Amino acid sequence: MAAHSRSAGLRAPGPRQILTLKIVLFAVSLLPFLWNLRALLQDALGANPIEAITHASGDWTLRFLLITLAITPLRKLTGWHWLVRLRRMLGLFAFFYVSLHFITYLWLDQFFDWNGIAHDIVKRPFITAGFAAFVLMIPLAATSFNAAIRALGGRRWQALHRSIYAIGILGVIHYWWLVKRDITEPLIYAAILALLLGLRMWWREQERRRQLQRVAVAN
């Protein structure tokens, strides 16, 4: 009986449970930033703290992107439709960490040398890919609120937010081209992304076939 109650709670948590989950998720999502800030203030980031901050913020950007992309497959596989209510926060944390990543590059790495930054974007492919991903994320963050959904309309909003797939691909490419030699970590990210996108493609194909079957039966 208790197990059934827990299962029902997971399938349909109440408003208070959702609020609690959001508070916990917010706190957990902020931990990497707080840990790195503490390490920076204590001079515990090693010989090259700027590189450590840059890599950490980039890693957490990719992780939050993949977690955000995992929401739909998890919802479909578990029936926990309430997971969608956490997706916005996860996506915004991905933008938070990519903003830290970009600001660290602009400020601590390049010291706002705009000519040098422009040269990097044009001449260094991994920075080109990363910059493109960052630019694509800006409208997603700017339209992640209910007012934007109403203003754009559901279909246009969904079409815009499908660019997260391209952002994920560009993010993995950015990391892959950055490391050059030991590609173990970017390969793991690439495999997870391929699985998440592959599941979407498979489900869409199944839906397309079902629609064709319904049309055939109707005729």
Q: What is the pLDDT of residue 143?
A: 94
Rounded to the nearest 5°, which phi and psi values hold at 108? -80, -25
Q: What is the pLDDT of residue 12?
A: 75
Transcribe 112-165 into DSSP letters.
Answer: T-HHHHHHHHHH-HHHHHHHHHHHHHHHHHHT-SHHHHHHH-HHHHHHHHTHHH
Residue 70: CB partners within 8 Å, gap ≥ 6?
Answer: 196
- Supply the range of the domain harboring residue 209: 2-218
pLDDT band at 73 (very low <50, low <70, confident <90, very high): very high
pLDDT band at 28 (very low <50, low <70, confident <90, very high): very high
Percent of the chain with pLDDT over 70: 95
What tokens were used for 47? 């010989």
Q: Return mean pLDDT, the chain.
A: 90
Percent of the chain with pLDDT over 90: 66
**Residue (of 30, 27, 26, 40) closest to 60 by Cα position:** 30
Residue 93 CA to residue 89 CA, distance in Å, equals: 6
Domain count, the chain: 1
Rounded to the nearest 5°, which phi and psi values hold at 9? -65, -40
